[in-house]
Amino acid sequence: MAGDLSRDWRVICEAILDVTDQVREHELEYGSRAHYSSLNALAVVWTWRFLALRWEAAQTLTVPVKDSFRKKCAETLAAHLDRWLICSQWAGRWAGASNTAVAGYAKALSGDAIGIDASTDPDAVHAVLAARFQRLTGDLEGDATACVTTLDAASRERVSLYRTLLWVWHRLEANRWGMSKIPLRYGKSKKTELDVDHTVAFALWDGLLDTGLPTDTSDREEAQGLVNQLGNCCLLEKSFNISKSDKTAKSFLEEIHEFKTNNLSLTDWCNAMAIPPVMLDPTGATADDIAKAIRERNTLIRTDMVDFVKGSKARLD
């Protein structure tokens, strides 16, 4: 094995660096609270890229043919990288100490290598590589869909569970992403961290429940949970925390410079974020009105995310 590694070391390094550069360009972060938390997911992509580079190094290709092959591989990688790293996490592929997924992926890529190494046709080689990535992401769809349709925060403090899901969702529509890029900060322009926050504040909602529960909830605990649903959350860079107060989202947003000076329409911002008026300012609304709006937005976000998992929607940032 040491001999094989030594012989291919230059190609191995190039594969790792190529993939790492793309991961960085896509702003995908590694860690327990980031977009993916297993280096196994990255190792699969490194191996995929290695197969392409090793084949290329063994061929005598003209400059145009080599350039075309490289660009096709880069396009395929770019088209699948987000879904692979993020959805393999959602699908639970790396869960468990004695994980068997790595062995399965290694066996599949080893099988591809046999056909790739025997070919001299760059289009045929790319077809094998593209088909592998299609299978890699396609096999995640069922489990990843189950995750994005059922993920639910049990309490106000747990809404950070939605971080990656919302990070993707904010980038699936050009107008939404344009609004998401605007930092919502008071005072000096000091950069703050992205934070998952409620639109309808927990304290505001809890106080409203004193006047009556939504008609389709059985007790106060169930009713309280509605405000922690995905449909009531956004991921934003901001200098305030709605969930820790009993103020409306509108009262915070109207103090932001861009809205205060009419450089940016609050209505346009809310439309881009799919936030209806009853969630922006619940004053005078009933618990049923707010619950209905949260559930509708919840369905909208999850539907968009299922489309992302299945590849019918992609990031536009």
Decide which of 139, 168, 202 is a domain's last residue: 139
pLDDT digits (tens, 9 = 90+) for 25-79: 999 999 877 899 999 999 999 999 999 999 999 999 999 999 999 999 999 999 9
Residues 156 and 304 in one domain: yes
Decide which of 106, 139, 172 is a domain's last residue: 139
Inter-residue contact 96 to 37 (CB < 8 Å): no
pLDDT at 182: 84
Domain residue limits at 274:
151-309
Cα 62 to Cα 65, 125, 127, 144, 211, distances in angstroms: 5, 16, 19, 41, 76
pLDDT digits (tens, 9 = 90+) for 178-222: 999 888 876 655 666 788 989 999 999 999 999 889 998 889 999
Sign of the alpha-carbon dihedral angle for 216, 169, 131, 12: negative
Does 99 have pLDDT greater than 80? no
**145 in any annotated domain:** no
**316 in any annotated domain:** no
pLDDT at 98: 55
Residues 155 and 280 in one domain: yes
Computed over every residue of the chain, the mean pLDDT equals 91
Does 21 have pLDDT greater than 90? yes
Decide which of 85, 107, 139 is a domain's last residue: 139
Residues 294 and 207 in one domain: yes
Strand partners, 36: 30
The distance between the two most distant Cα atoms of the chain, rounded to a whole number of Å, is 77
Does 1 have pLDDT greater than 70? no
Residues 130 and 70 in one domain: yes
pLDDT digits (tens, 9 = 90+) for 259-316: 988 889 999 999 999 999 999 999 999 999 999 999 999 999 999 999 999 999 999 9
Residues 158 and 266 in one domain: yes
Q: Which residue has the higher pLDDT, 246 or 17?
A: 17
**314 in any annotated domain:** no
**144 in any annotated domain:** no
Does 6 have pLDDT greater than 80? no
pLDDT at 260: 87
For the chain, give the percent of residues with pLDDT over 70: 93
Residues 270 and 294 in one domain: yes
Q: What is the mean pLDDT of residues 228-240?
A: 86
Domain count, the chain: 2
Residues 278 and 189 in one domain: yes
Entry pTM: 0.91
Collect all residues with Cβ–Cβ distance below 8 Å to 45 and sequence separation of at least 6: 19, 77, 81, 84, 85
The CB density around residue 312, as the number of other CB atoms within 10 Å, is: 9
Residues 63 and 94 in one domain: yes
DSSP string, the chain: -HHHHHHTHHHHHHHHHHHHHHHHHTT--BSTTSSB--HHHHHHHHHHHHHHHHHHHHS---HHHHHHHHHHHHHHHHHHHHHHHHHHHHTTTT-STT--HHHHHHHHHHHHHHHHHT---HHHHHHHHHHHHHHHHHTTHHHHHHHHHH---SSGGGGGGGHHHHHHHTTSSHHHHHHHTS-B--SS-----EEEEESS-HHHHHHHGGG---TT-SSHHHHHHGGGSGGGEEEEEBS--GGGSSS-HHHHHTTSHHHHTTSS-HHHHHHHTT--HHHH--TT--HHHHHHHHHHHHHHHHHHHHHHHTTSS----
